[in-house]
């Protein structure tokens, strides 16, 4: 990012003194939030390594534009020179009659797919769903995804093992980070805020860090709204 050499202080056109006083108070809060966000990130980076992954899971795999399907092991998702893997569990069930992709998860990957070209310069990235890979790729093509690595866990226990599937086969939207140390793969972090009780009139916000539209809404007078959510069609 280019260095900002000067920053103007002052007012925007037409603003009142009342507005500027209130905005400066808000700015102090935004600075404190920025500091707290970095403090939490630093605490996360200091986590000890989690449990060793006991199984080299085999996933059905595809890129959105691929003509053929293939299989890939978890260990093969680590490209040379990259010892970190970010996986997103996409809510797309595998039960007959309920094979509908989650609109919320869809809106997340709508945004992340474009960013994936940048993300994979530093870490490995893939999206895993319980639905068969053909169904998942079909959905990806409808959405115009081009860059995200698609995986299906239909034939393994990854979702159950890593808390992205309930006892009733309900799917959960979880983000995970794994690291490779030598020949071993270790779990590092998952978005466990999903399991924490939410604040009043809020949802869990466990993957908002990768879901940019909410931050955009937060900057507007009406905020996120009480009941609005993304849809597959408008």
Q: Each residue of 184-213: pLDDT tens digit?
A: 999 999 999 999 999 998 999 999 999 999
Residues in the chain: 234
CATH of domain 58-192: 3.40.30.10
Q: Each residue of 119-177: pLDDT tens digit?
A: 999 999 999 999 999 999 999 999 999 999 999 999 999 999 999 999 999 999 999 99
Cα–Cα distance between 61 and 63 in angstroms, integer? 7
Give yes or no for a contact between 213 and 111, defined as CB atoms under 8 angstroms apart. Answer: yes
Domain-wise residue ranges, the chain: 16-46, 58-192
Cα–Cα distance between 152 and 155 in angstroms, integer? 8
CA angle 19, 27, 43 (to 5 degrees): 160
Q: What is the mean pLDDT of the chain?
A: 94
Give yes or no for a contact between 133 and 62, defined as CB atoms under 8 angstroms apart. Answer: yes
């Amino acid at each position: 990012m280019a260095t900002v050499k000067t920053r103007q202080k002052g007012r925007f056109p037409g603003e009142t003194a009342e507005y500027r006083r209130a905005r400066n108070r808000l700015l102090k809060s935004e600075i404190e939030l920025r500091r707290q966000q970095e403090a939490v990130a630093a605490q996360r980076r200091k986590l000890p390594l989690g449990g060793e992954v006991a199984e080299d899971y085999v996933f059905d795999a595809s890129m959105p534009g691929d003509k053929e399907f293939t299989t890939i092991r978890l260990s093969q998702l680590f490209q040379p020179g990259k010892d970190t893997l970010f996986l997103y569990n996409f809510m797309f069930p595998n039960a007959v009659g309920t094979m509908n992709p989650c609109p919320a998860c869809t809106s997340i990957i709508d945004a992340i797919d474009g960013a994936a070209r940048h993300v994979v310069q530093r870490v490995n990235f893939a999206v895993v769903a319980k639905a068969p890979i053909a169904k998942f790729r079909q959905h990806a093509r409808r959405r115009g995804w081009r860059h995200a690595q698609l995986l299906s866990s239909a034939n393994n226990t990854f979702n159950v093992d890593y808390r992205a599937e309930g006892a009733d086969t309900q799917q959960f939207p979880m983000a995970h980070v794994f690291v490779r140390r030598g020949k071993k793969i270790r779990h590092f972090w998952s978005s466990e805020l999903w399991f924490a009780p939410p604040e009043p009139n809020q949802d869990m916000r466990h993957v908002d860090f990768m879901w940019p539209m909410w931050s955009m809404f937060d900057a507007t007078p009406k905020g996120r709204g009480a009941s609005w959510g993304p849809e597959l069609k408008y």
